[in-house]
Structures are given as structure tokens and as C-alpha cells.
Amino acid sequence: MKVTILQGSARKKGNTARVLTWVEEELISLGHEVDSIYLHSKNLKGCLGCAKCKEKPDTIGCVQKDDVPEVLEKMIDSQLIIFSSPLYFWGFSAQIKAVIDRTYSLYTNYNLPDHASLIDGRRQALIATGAGPYDDNAEGMVAAFGRMQKYHKAINAGELFIDSCSTPDAMGDSVQQKAIEFARKIVA
């Protein structure tokens, strides 16, 4: 399947990137086509909340002029989208949050019988890392991610939060194994 990874950490060799490397290697070894987008190199503006995008269900229709429509097109063209982020103040990094907010342009008529989404049926997975534990720390981010699929008409393929991170090199075999198992699970 076609997989798009949204790399949401600015640190190209950081903790999140290390986990993504293991996931990506496993997905490629299973025969999947993986495209990874380093969001920090892109021009990403926030959602204006103008709702111009809601006028036509069959186009993205966002009025912002930046690199996000190109990222959204790649999401539309994939069967699996992996959102990734370091945990920043109990939530997503600014880079991935900008893209998440702009996915507002991918669906129309939420909660109505003609609710439509340009990413209907796509799988979505979350990979996040944090310095602290899961409890009283990461559950808000994971809950927000889990609510998103209803709006996107997407499928939640799974969430992986790696807690107690310090440096990439300190992540041992057990984290690598978790990443590999997660990769297998989200395409199964």
C-alpha cells in the first residue's frame, strides 16, 4: 500500500525520527511504498477558519497559499497516513498541528447524511515520543488523534506512544521491537 509519513519533529535525528526509521524500514521490507515528508522544511500556515473549503466537497479548496495543499494531496493519494510528533506541552508539535488543522478542508457536511471526505476509508496511525510517562501526559494527544477519524471518515490503524525518551541512542531493542510490531499492525 502507499504510505505517507508526516514527520512532525524538527529534529531530523531525534527520538521520533529514530522510531520512524524502524517503522519505515519494516514497511518497506513488507513491500509497501513509503513517502516521508519532513514538515519542518515546508511552508506551513495555520487554518484561517474561513470555511471557504466547505463550499465544494470534491476539492481541497483551501485559500491559504503555502505547501499544505501538496501535503494534503499526498494524504489523499495514500492508503495509510502516519502522523508523527514529539509530545510538546501535552499536545502536537506546531508543524504537525498546522497540517492537522488544515485537514478541515478535506471533509464537508460533518454530521449530515451527505458527510463527505476526500480521505474516506484511509488508515491513519499516530507515532509520538515524549520525555515523560503516558499517564497524565500523553493521553490528550492520543484522544485528539482518535477523534479525528470520525471527521475524516478514516480508519484508526493504531497509536504508538514511546514514553521516557532521552536520546535516540538510549532507545533500546525493546523500543525497536515495538516499532516493528506497530508497523506490521497498521498495515494488517
Residue in 132, 143, 181, 184 binding ligand FMN, rule: CB under 6 A: 132
Interface residue with ligand FMN, options 88, 104, 110, 151 (CB under 6 A): 88
- Residue 89 in contact with ligand FMN, rule: CB under 6 A: yes
Based on the shown chain and the rule CB under 6 A, indicate whether residue 130 belongs to the binding site for ligand FMN: yes
Three-state DSSP at 115 gives coil
- The binding track of 105-124 with respect to ligand FMN, each residue x by CB under 6 A or -, is --------------------
Looking at residue 128, its amino acid is A
**How far apart are the C-alpha atoms of 72 and 105, rounded to whole Å?**
9
Q: Where are the alpha helices (DSSP H) in the chain?
A: 15-29, 68-76, 94-102, 139-152, 173-187
Crossing angle, helix 94-102 and helix 68-76, to 10 degrees? 70
Looking at 15-23, 45-53, 147-155, 177-185, which segment touches ligand FMN (CB under 6 A)? 15-23
User: Does residue 131 touch ligand FMN according to CB under 6 A?
Assistant: yes
How many CB atoms are located within 10 Å of the residue 121 CB?
Answer: 10
**Interaction site with ligand FMN (CB under 6 A):** 9, 11, 14-17, 86-90, 129-132, 137, 165
